[in-house]
Amino acid sequence: MYTTWNELEDSIKNCEKCKLCEGRKNIVFGVGNKNAKIMFIGEGPGADEDEQGEPFVGKAGQLMNKAFEYIGIDRKEVYIANIVKCRPPNNRNPEEDEAAACLDYLRNQVILVKPKIIVLLGSVALQNILGTEYKITASRGKCFVKKDIKYFPTWHPSAVLRDENKKVDFIRDLLVVYMESLKN
């Protein structure tokens, strides 16, 4: 375990724990308030994120920003990370060994941020954090509490881009998260 952000960030700079390092331009570590009440976890960087080195800056991130703006969430006040820190080829889901290679980095991010709420964006984040027995369709919109952290699974913004019918659920879920964050 790393006790400071500098130690954690230094530990990942030359990471070669899995094959995703071979095709990356940038490690996409995480961004936002390092003392955030709310943390968002996605699956992995896409092409725009790999290019810029920041999570959720592409089309899915733009959709998330619009939802934040609509609800009143300030992106600078939340922390955003992914299950894997390097882009999977062709934006495929991270493989089990790739996710496992990055999980300690993510665990340390959670320990250092100390969020009250973690929003799990999509099935990859849900299953890697809460377990493979959880399915996004059945879990979406529900709250799960583990070790004093509230977990709220919802659709990944890219799923919302592919299916407009998910937009209402996505915004409603983020509104519930925002209202819950005001309680603490």
**For the chain, what percent of residues have pLDDT higher than 90?**
97
Q: Tokens 């369709």 belong to which residue?
A: 137
Residue type (1 letter), 62: Q
5 neighbors 20 (Cβ within 8 angstroms): no
Give yes or no for residue 176 having a pLDDT over 70. Answer: yes
Range of 93's domain? 5-183
pLDDT of 177 reads 97
* Cβ-count burial 42-58 (b if 16+ within 10 Å, e if not): bbbbbebbbeeebbbbb
83 neighbors 43 (Cβ within 8 angstroms): yes
Question: What is the full DSSP assignment across 107-153?
Answer: HHHHHHH--SEEEEESHHHHHHHT-TT--HHHHTT--EEETTEEEEE
pLDDT of 165 reads 97
Give yes or no for residue 137 having a pLDDT over 90. Answer: yes
Quote the CA–CA distance of 10 and 99 in Å, as a whole number: 19
pLDDT of 1 reads 82
pLDDT of 136 reads 98
Quote the CA–CA distance of 67 and 35 in Å, as a whole number: 22
174 neighbors 119 (Cβ within 8 angstroms): yes
Task: Provide the 3-class DSSP secondary structure of residue 39.
Answer: strand
Average pLDDT over residues 40-60: 97
Average pLDDT over residues 44-53: 96
Domain with residue 75: its CATH number is 3.40.470.10
Average pLDDT over residues 95-122: 97
Average pLDDT over residues 87-110: 96
113 neighbors 31 (Cβ within 8 angstroms): no
pLDDT of 80 reads 98
Give yes or no for residue 184 having a pLDDT over 90. Answer: no
Q: What is the pLDDT of residues 69-84, one digit of tens each?
A: 999 999 999 999 999 9
Q: How many domains in the chain?
A: 1
Listed residue (156, 175, 161, 127) closest to 40, CA to CA: 156
User: Which pTM value belongs to this model?
Assistant: 0.97
